[in-house]
A and B are shown apart, each in its own frame.
Chain A
């Protein structure tokens, strides 16, 4: 089952935070993106991922990933702790990213439900019907798709 993550955080509007946001944007391609790429690629859990900023007012982490929400939150926390710490620090109430309970709670609250209803009976992190997530390949998991793509390429 594939889930969508729509982590959405309001950015604090003080000068220091906005300066740190600008710095994050500057270093994203060289410092952040490769680290995320390495972790997600090796996990074989994530289909897509991106980070975007809306009018310097909101920052979003948007992904589609396989497995239950609760199963791999700890993987994402551990694998990308410094990156999440940087992103979360732009918002009020940022958790200590060393604390799994605080991280889970914060991520749960920051995840915005997409419109519509999941066609595959997926649930969100609190067990409500998840919002709609389109999949061109019927939500097949990454681990199933990658070997087939490699076979096709061979």
Chain B
């Protein structure tokens, strides 16, 4: 079963380091690039645990072209075979997130279309290597980025810069007080991984997140035993997502609908009540299904709750964000029960906020949002499935309880331009017909890439260090 000591720490543990950056590169000649990796992977911790302060932490992920380029002369790994064996939604260029085959179904249309991604500076296809840096301070970040970038240039790597951004990269920090730009407390939920394969209640199989251990329930790629499965062992596929948050539009939505919500809010602040109904948690992090009437006196961050006795969504609407993206015990449709014999798809989520807090009032035109990294063992069945479900809620028969429920959207994340989608938030209430609030776009996607974060053994293989 999965070996935590072989897994990059970013995937198995969150970090408390507040300052974060994502750098993206195109790889030049493979030899110097491997040597560059060899010098910098010493800063990549493995396995669960705390990393002492004082040194930067770096984590590495690659696109398929980047991996194939670095492994082209690796005798045991035939890249043509790797193209066939790795997840097709990672290795097949026609199945990239910005491809015509996938973009529309994943909600990447209108202002979120790939034509608008990466500030117009490059395309997802250009990305070979992503380095995630985590730092104790801005000063530490500055020193590390200077050294790393100088070395990268010498190694023939071309940085894919974002000149309109801090550090010319995706830079940001863990949010102040743990609150993201829409005001919600973040980092509340997580998964307990069943490392010892004991099937303990409330735990998740490592096969949900780490490749190299396929079975019938989790037929991960590479599926076939051999060099590619060995290479991929203890790695994760990673969805990198850059997301703009339109806080002005979100706050205006809460204000505009407060009067209609007030008679149903049980004395709670109606704007906070609407915010909770959209997210599925009060903004202090307390789950709505457990605290349906009002925010508790102190935040309830218990993650052990479900929706099985709230099928109609009276406590937590079916289209609330946390319910769409993590169904817990909600019943799936027949086809999805067949797809997911071990329950709804799950993701390990890491990320940070960027941009200053919204000062309130009118839109200030400032770019602010989230950079997310979503780890899983199967890109299409997990990362892309959740993205699809946010755009159209046809995944559970429970949605039949709302008018045109199969065509609803994630109340926070849905792209309202999705053809055929019903773009109202349906909020059941106990004292009358359900409220229907016309939703608007609260987020725009500014870039997505499908990557692979190798295990430590594979990372050393990619670097100039070929010791096993």
Residues of A whose CB lies within 8 Å of any CB of B are 1, 39, 42-45, 67-72, 74-75, 78-79, 96, 98-102, 104-105, 121, 123-128, 141, 143-144
Is B334 a contact partner of A74 (Cβ separation < 8 A)? no
Given A71-B105, A100-B219, A127-B99, A105 and B84 contact (CB-CB distance below 8 Å): yes
Q: Would you list the 9 A-B pairs with minimal beta carbon distance, nearest first?
A: A127-B100, A127-B101, A99-B223, A68-B105, A126-B94, A101-B221, A75-B335, A43-B335, A42-B334
CA distance A125 to B420 in the complex (A): 20
What is the bound-complex CA distance between A125 and B419, given in angstroms? 19
* Residue pair B88, A105 in contact (C-beta under 8 Å): yes
| Contact code string B92-114 (vs A, CB < 8 Å = 1, else 0) | 10110001111111000000000
Q: In the docked arrangement, what's the CA distance between A42 and B420, Å?
A: 23
What chain B residues lie within 8 Å of A68 (beta carbons)?
A: 105, 388
Residues of B221-273 at the interface with A, using a CB-CB cut-off of 8 Å, are: 221-224
Establish whether residues A71 and B388, one from each chain, have CB atoms under 8 Å apart when the complex forms.
Answer: yes
State the CA gap A67–B88 with chains docked (Å): 19
B453, chain A: closest CB distance, angstroms? 19
CB-based contact A70/B95 at 8 Å:
yes
- Kindly state the separation between the CA atoms of A121 and B336 in the bound complex, as whole angstroms: 26
**B410 within 8 Å of A by Cβ?**
no
Q: Are B339 and A128 in contact (CB under 8 A)?
A: no
**A71 and B219 form a contact (CB under 8 A):** no
Within 8 A of A (CB), among B193-222: 216, 219, 221-222
User: How near does chain B come to A85, taking the closest CB pair, in angstroms?
Assistant: 14
Contact present for B94 and A102 (CB under 8 Å):
no
Closest Cβ–Cβ distance, residue A43 to chain B (whole Å): 4
- Within the complex, what minimum Cβ distance (angstroms) separates B7 from chain A? 22
Decide if A45 touches B105 in the complex (CB within 8 Å).
no
Chain B residues within 8 Å of A67, by CB: 394
Mark the stretch among B128-136, B148-156, B315-323, B378-386 that contacts chain A.
B378-386
Do B100 and A78 touch across chains, with their CB atoms under 8 A apart? no
Q: How far is the CA of A123 from the CA of B102 in the complex (A)?
A: 9
Q: In the assembled complex, how far is the CB of residue B235 from the closest CB belonging to chain A, in whole angstroms?
A: 15
Chain A residues within 8 Å of B223, by CB: 96, 98-102
Q: Do B105 and A99 touch across chains, with their CB atoms under 8 A apart?
A: no
Closest to A141 in B: B406
Q: Which of A1, A70, A102 has the most CB of B within 10 A?
A: A70
User: Which residue of chain B has its CB nearest to the CB of A39?
Assistant: B338
What separation, in Å, do the CA atoms of A7 and B245 have in the docked complex?
Answer: 42
| B44 close to A (CB within 8 Å) | no
Contact between chains at A100 and B102 (CB < 8 Å): no
By a CB distance below 8 angstroms, the chain A residues around B398 are none
Check if A70 sits within 8 Å of B101, measured CB to CB: yes
Residues from chain A with a CB closer than 8 A to the CB of B221 are 99-101
Contact A123 B224 (CB under 8 A): no
Shortest Cβ gap from B6 to chain A (Å): 22
Q: Are A44 and B334 in contact (CB under 8 A)?
A: yes
Known contacts A67-B394, A126-B94, A72 near B335 by CB under 8 Å: yes
Indicate if B450 sits at the interface (CB-CB under 8 A).
no
Question: Hey, which chain A residues are within 8 Å of B87, CB to CB?
Answer: 101
